[in-house]
Structure 1
Amino acid sequence: MNLKSLKVFALVMEEGTLARAADRINLSQSAASRLLQILEEEFSIVLFRRDKKRLIPTPIGERFYPEALRILAQVDQIPDFFAQMRSDAPEALRLICHPRIVNGLVLPAIVRFAQVEPNTPVKLEIYPRRDLGRRIMNDRYDFGISTLPLPVDTIRPNVLGTTELRVALHKDHSLAQRDVLGPVDIKDLPYIALDDTTVIRRIVDRAMDRANAQLSIKHEVSAGSAAYRLVQSKLGFTFADPVALDPEVAPDIALVPWQYKMAVPFGYFLPPKRDRHPEAAAFAKVLQDIFDAKISGAKTAETN
């Protein structure tokens, strides 16, 4: 198999046109087209159908794309592999996750892991959830953490547990001491919403639809950490859970149970097609301990 042909195929899948793919790899469009043709002829397959200037993946192309990314990722890792052998340094544990859970869950787990396994370096890569699926298909990670479901259906995650979304208010707000809140209680408060590409926004919107209620959005942000800081600044309320809430803002924010249950499941996942990192199991245990402590602390706070 011609690896350059494989690279052209992957770039066309990402870019949508042969011209942009050729630019990415510094080839003429005709040369890129020939490489793509070589790949199709070698295996007697059709990877794309032509639609004006765009190349539309065939079902075979769609199915082959994750495997192509995996092969290219393994090739890209060869220099790192030999560099690692020459340095004789411990192999870094490569973590991937999306931004929402970094401060509240992943970073505390890394700190605890460094205490348990001080000789194992960690490399953390953070991607928007919409890009996390592509990174998973690239297979360049040892351990992934995410809310569930995962953005790809080719991996079976290990479930950490489930928490409930709550109304996040500044602790000095008059409603912060309530046992439970519903749409009627907050209908006149400024709502700081996550944008509609996020899992949390979709969970909230579905719950509001089932309750036949509406919330008027005052501010909209794409990251939970931004919403929490606006709540900390007394600009309104948002929805959060005790696992994802940033420890830096947590002392200023009250999480009040919501009238309608809004469950948020969390999990971790490992690469399915290669050997595990020797310390992946140790990190999984630390992550589970941190998650359980967050849930336990939230339950204790509710009963006090």
Structure 2
Amino acid sequence: MMITSRQLEAFRAVMARGTVTAAAERLGVSQPAVSKILAGLEHEIGYPLFTRIKRRLAPTSEARLLEQEVTRLYHSLERVTEVAREIRERQVGDLLIYSTPALGRSVLPDVMATFMQRHTKAHIVFQVRSSTYINQKMIDQQIDLGFSMMPFEHPAMVTEELSRAAAVCVLPAGHRLARRKVIRPADLRGERFLSFPLDGRMRHLIDAAFEQERIERQLQIDVYSSADACALAARGLGVSIVDPFTARDYLGAGIAVVPFEPRIRYLFRAMRPRHRKPSRLADAFLDAVKAHIRAKGWS
């Protein structure tokens, strides 16, 4: 048995309109054509679907049972059409995003808040991880988008620079240097300094700025991220040099933020898997990140 879509269309039209003539008008074909299609359907299934009463066709009980299933089928097709449209308009889909803390705890949540308002049916897995972890996930082609500070190139990934943001100095709100217009290494001589891990790129750049001028600090506390440094600075536990995105989020929470010279640049990059076809939703999210960074003047 092979029922065609054309036969089902004719059947639906007759059930809805009650006559072959009206069904033919709805379908844009001749009355004999509809009659022939219906006859073919009845032959295919092996039982009659209509009885003629004067000029109208009365559906049999079998026809009403069949109509219920056909209606469900067409509703399913309409849903497929709707999903296809949502995919085209980048409304639905799964998105795996991994980011280092600097962007993952400040910029990306801001972008995601707006993004989810426009893409209400999207499903996002968002995790804040180390650069090393993200790089490996990207090499293995296991995530859609990665955001990192670590300079890293690999044939399995495509990278794009997003921002070169100048680091800032964060201090407890009541600190003696809180009202300075700019802070230099000599200003922080003898201060308890909140440092990043020894194997990190930013630790080397920051240490180099102080070593070049032979400025000693009290290196008592190491922290993992800018957010950790800001949280400790707010409690009077020291000063630090951090990314401006995180520092902005802690303003008014017990810290002061002052530009630092010489300038130390945070390099933020987006990464995509080279051997995994990018989804329309991933394109949309990356576009939203770039637009947000441009709007803030961070690009």
Residues 140 and 154 from structure 1, CA distance in 2 versus in 1: closer, same or farther, beyond 3 angstroms?
closer
Is the 1:103–1:245 Cα contact (8 Å) retained in structure 2? no
Aligned position for 1:158: 160
Q: Given the alignment, which residue of 175, 192, 204 partners 2:177?
A: 175
Aligned position for 2:203: 201
User: Partner amino acid for 2:171?
Assistant: L
Q: Summarize the alignment of residues 125-274 of structure 1 with structure 2, pairs less than 5 Å apart.
A: 125-150=127-152, 152=154, 154-245=156-247, 247=249, 249-252=250-253, 253-274=255-276
| 4+ runs deviating over 6 angstroms | none
Q: Summarize the alignment of residues 10-159 of structure 1 with structure 2, pairs less than 5 Å apart.
A: 90-150=92-152, 152=154, 154-159=156-161
**CA distance in 1: counterparts of 2:163 and 2:102, whole angstroms:** 16
Shift of 1:163: 0.6
Shift of 1:152: 4.6
TM-score by length of 1: 0.62
**CA distance in 2: counterparts of 1:101 and 1:197, whole angstroms:** 20
| Larger Rg belongs to | 2
Q: Deviations over 1:230-251 (max 9, x none)?
A: 011121101112223372x232
**CA distance in 2: counterparts of 1:225 and 1:151, whole angstroms:** 27
**CA distance in 2: counterparts of 1:282 and 1:186, whole angstroms:** 43
Residues 151 and 201 from structure 1, CA distance in 2 versus in 1: closer, same or farther, beyond 3 angstroms?
farther
Residues 243 and 291 from structure 1, CA distance in 2 versus in 1: closer, same or farther, beyond 3 angstroms?
farther
Shift of 1:120: 1.3
Shift of 1:274: 2.1
Structure 1 regions of 5+ residues with no counterpart? 1-87, 297-304
Please, which moves more after superposition, 229-238 or 115-124? Answer: 115-124
Residues 214 and 225 from structure 1, CA distance in 2 versus in 1: closer, same or farther, beyond 3 angstroms?
same
Residues 144 and 213 from structure 1, CA distance in 2 versus in 1: closer, same or farther, beyond 3 angstroms?
same
Is the 1:129–1:151 Cα contact (8 Å) retained in structure 2? no
Is the 1:147–1:267 Cα contact (8 Å) retained in structure 2? yes
Residues 208 and 189 from structure 1, CA distance in 2 versus in 1: closer, same or farther, beyond 3 angstroms?
closer
User: Partner amino acid for 1:263?
Assistant: R
Aligned position for 1:45: none
Is the 1:180–1:259 Cα contact (8 Å) retained in structure 2? yes
State the percentage of identical aligned residues: 19
CA RMSD of aligned residues (A): 2.6
Residues 290 and 138 from structure 1, CA distance in 2 versus in 1: closer, same or farther, beyond 3 angstroms?
same
Residues 91 and 113 from structure 1, CA distance in 2 versus in 1: closer, same or farther, beyond 3 angstroms?
same
What is the total number of aligned residue pairs between the two structures?
210
Q: Given the alignment, which residue of 261, 275, 278 partners 1:276?
A: 278
Shift of 1:289: 2.8
Aligned position for 2:289: 287
